[in-house]
Amino acid sequence: MDIKFIKFDVKGDERGSLIALEEYKNIPFQIKRVYFIFDTKSDVSRGYHAHKNLKQVLIPVKGSCKILLENYEETEEVLLSDQRCGLYIDALIWRVMYEFSDDCVLLVLASDYYNENDYIRNYDQFRYEIKQLITSGDNPT
């Protein structure tokens, strides 16, 4: 599955810690949008979609949550709990986020502007689209 953890360098001294995020350096795309998710209740799950083209890096700058990721042939559950690590998620990966801690602030860096047309919000359509890609030989796994 085309996901990976990116470990950030922490610039720390006696005053505290600092992490810098730079496009094409520690973030593998041009950053066109930044948003953050907070105040999500622990019994709430979010996501339930894939993106046609968008690539993102998710960073739990505070607290934690879990994310379930699915491509054509695999599913993987990942715990996001380390602010020194971002999770890169490529396009065409179904995601569901859940078990948000009360204090969770999830920062997301995105490779493009918000565009509802880039979302695949129907699970059957997601399965259909990745199957089409696999059978056409353009393997997204």
Q: Which of residues 70-109 bind ligand T46 (CB under 6 A)?
A: 95, 108
The answer to whether residue 111 forms part of the interface with ligand T46 (CB under 6 A) is no
Is the distance from CB of 35 to CB of 61 less than 8 angstroms? no
Residue from 19, 37, 133, 134 in contact with ligand T46 (CB under 6 A): 37
**Please, what is the minimum distance in Å from the beta carbon of residue 12 to ligand T46?**
28
Ramachandran region, residue 100 (left: φ > 0; alpha: ψ -120 to 50; beta: rest): beta
* Of 17-25, 30-38, 70-78, 125-133: span binding ligand T46 (CB under 6 A): 30-38
**Please, what is the minimum distance in Å from the beta carbon of residue 88 to ligand T46?**
12
Environment class of residue 95 by beta-carbon count within 10 Å: exposed (0-12), middle (13-18) or buried (19+)? buried
Residues in Cβ contact with 22 at an 8 Å cutoff, skipping those fewer than 6 apart: none
Q: Which of residues 48-77 bind ligand T46 (CB under 6 A)?
A: 56, 58
Residue from 5, 36, 38, 114 in contact with ligand T46 (CB under 6 A): 114
Residues in Cβ contact with 30 at an 8 Å cutoff, skipping those fewer than 6 apart: 23, 24, 111
Q: Which helix (H) or strand (E) holds 50?
A: strand 46-51
Q: Is 49 a catalytic residue?
A: yes
Residue from 46, 62, 84, 127 in contact with ligand T46 (CB under 6 A): 46
Residue from 7, 9, 23, 35 in contact with ligand T46 (CB under 6 A): 35
